[in-house]
A = this chain, B = another copy of it.
Amino acid sequence: MIPLKTLQDRISYAFDSTGFVREPVRLYEPIAYALEQGGKRLRPVLVLMACDLFGGNIEDAVYPAMGLEIFHNFTLLHDDIMDNAPLRRGKETVFQKWDKNTAILSGDTMFVMAYEYVARTDASLLPMVLNLFNDTARMVCEGQQYDMNFESQANITIPDYMMMIRLKTAVLIACSLKLGAIIAKADATHIEKIYDFGIELGLAFQLQDDFLDAFGDTAKFGKAIGGDIATNKKTFLYLKAFELARGETLAILAKYVEGNEITASQKVAGILDIYMELNIREITLLEIEQHHLKALEILHSVDLSPETTNELIGLMQVMLGRER
């Protein structure tokens, strides 16, 4: 098995050695900027890892893997316009640095590029690869729509939220693993199971992200605590708190959420107190654990080699911040 670090280096090298700028420069410079921001390159690494685990040659997976990373960054570009977000990974977003029109059109072009890279695969695999990517891209768009709908909708439930993060986040994690398995020409059952595993992993990963926003170690998490709380983002934690709060507690929670006449840090501190009172910390950890266990269950239901199973368990540990 190829070590994680080696896979990460392969992907970094692939991006570093590609010149994305060409004419018209005004179109491609923002694309190069967005792709150079780096980030964890999680999705392409998952593609290579799955390809390797199922006995494929990772070189066959590099371009399709890059395609998924380009797609992911395209969605961030357009999401940042929709969310009016000035910063991404500590740097100005494209729409902030240039303008909305640039972010729209450079994003569209990245979407084409994503298809170009994803399609650089064996012709015999192309129908399957393209179906997977089309389905995934459509679901990610639907997830973003639900996410936006939820902002202005009352009575969002936990199942609504889980459906949304499945579409917006989990399907692309699952797609990454499945794409690698397809390129490795894994058998059909393995291909389906690795996808299901990826869904559970993706759900746990997003819930973990929600959790860290409230209870993370700022130094380790890499972003400020309470961003979701300050903006009333309807995360698992928020929805669970409203589900459980009663009487006085509910009244205080609602008051903090309104946030009148208090500072942002008072708001965050106040809501965190209520989260503690309602055991939101433990409930969220339990929910993450449940998806972690479902993922393990799926793994153990397939006849993978013990080595492959172990590698996938290790991957989960890394993604959920439980390094061995």
Name A's B-contacting residues (CB within 8 A).
23-24, 26-27, 78, 81-82, 100-101, 104-105, 107-109, 111-113, 115-116, 119, 123, 126-127, 130-131, 134, 137-138, 141-142, 144-146, 148-149
CA distance A99 to B91 in the complex (A): 27
Tell whether A149 pairs with B26 under 8 Å between CB atoms, given A119-B130, A138-B113: yes
CA distance A113 to B141 in the complex (A): 11
CA distance A97 to B85 in the complex (A): 24
Complex interface: chain B residues within 8 A of A107 (CB): 108
Jot down 13 A-B pairs with beta carbons below 8 A, ordered by A. Answer: A24-B146, A81-B101, A82-B101, A104-B104, A105-B141, A105-B145, A107-B108, A108-B108, A112-B137, A112-B138, A112-B141, A116-B138, A119-B134
Complex interface: chain B residues within 8 A of A119 (CB): 127, 130-131, 134
Tell whether A115 pairs with B134 under 8 Å between CB atoms, given A104-B78, A123-B126: yes
Q: Which 7 residue pairs across A and B have the least CB separation, nearest first?
A: A27-B145, A109-B141, A82-B101, A112-B137, A24-B145, A112-B138, A123-B127
From the candidates B108, B127, B131, B148, name the one contacting A111 in the complex (CB within 8 A). B108
CB distance B130 to A104 under 8 Å? no
CA distance A141 to B24 in the complex (A): 10
**Smallest Cβ distance from A95 to chain B, in angstroms?**
11
- Tally of this chain's copies: 2
Complex interface: chain B residues within 8 A of A101 (CB): 81-82, 148
Complex interface: chain B residues within 8 A of A148 (CB): 26, 101, 105
From the candidates B23, B111, B134, B149, name the one contacting A116 in the complex (CB within 8 A). B134
CB distance A105 to B78 under 8 Å? yes
CA distance A146 to B105 in the complex (A): 11
CB distance A115 to B144 under 8 Å? no
CA distance A107 to B145 in the complex (A): 12
Complex interface: chain B residues within 8 A of A78 (CB): 104-105, 108
CB distance A105 to B144 under 8 Å? yes
CB distance A82 to B104 under 8 Å? yes
Complex interface: chain B residues within 8 A of A115 (CB): 115, 130, 134, 137
Please give 9 more A-B residue pairs, beta carbons under 8 A apart, in addition to A82-B104, A101-B148, A115-B137: A23-B142, A24-B145, A26-B145, A81-B100, A100-B100, A105-B144, A108-B111, A111-B111, A119-B127
CA distance A145 to B119 in the complex (A): 25
CB-nearest residue of chain B relative to A113?
B138
Complex interface: chain B residues within 8 A of A27 (CB): 141-142, 145
CA distance A78 to B77 in the complex (A): 14
From the candidates B26, B112, B126, B131, name the one contacting A134 in the complex (CB within 8 A). B112
Complex interface: chain B residues within 8 A of A24 (CB): 142, 145-146, 149
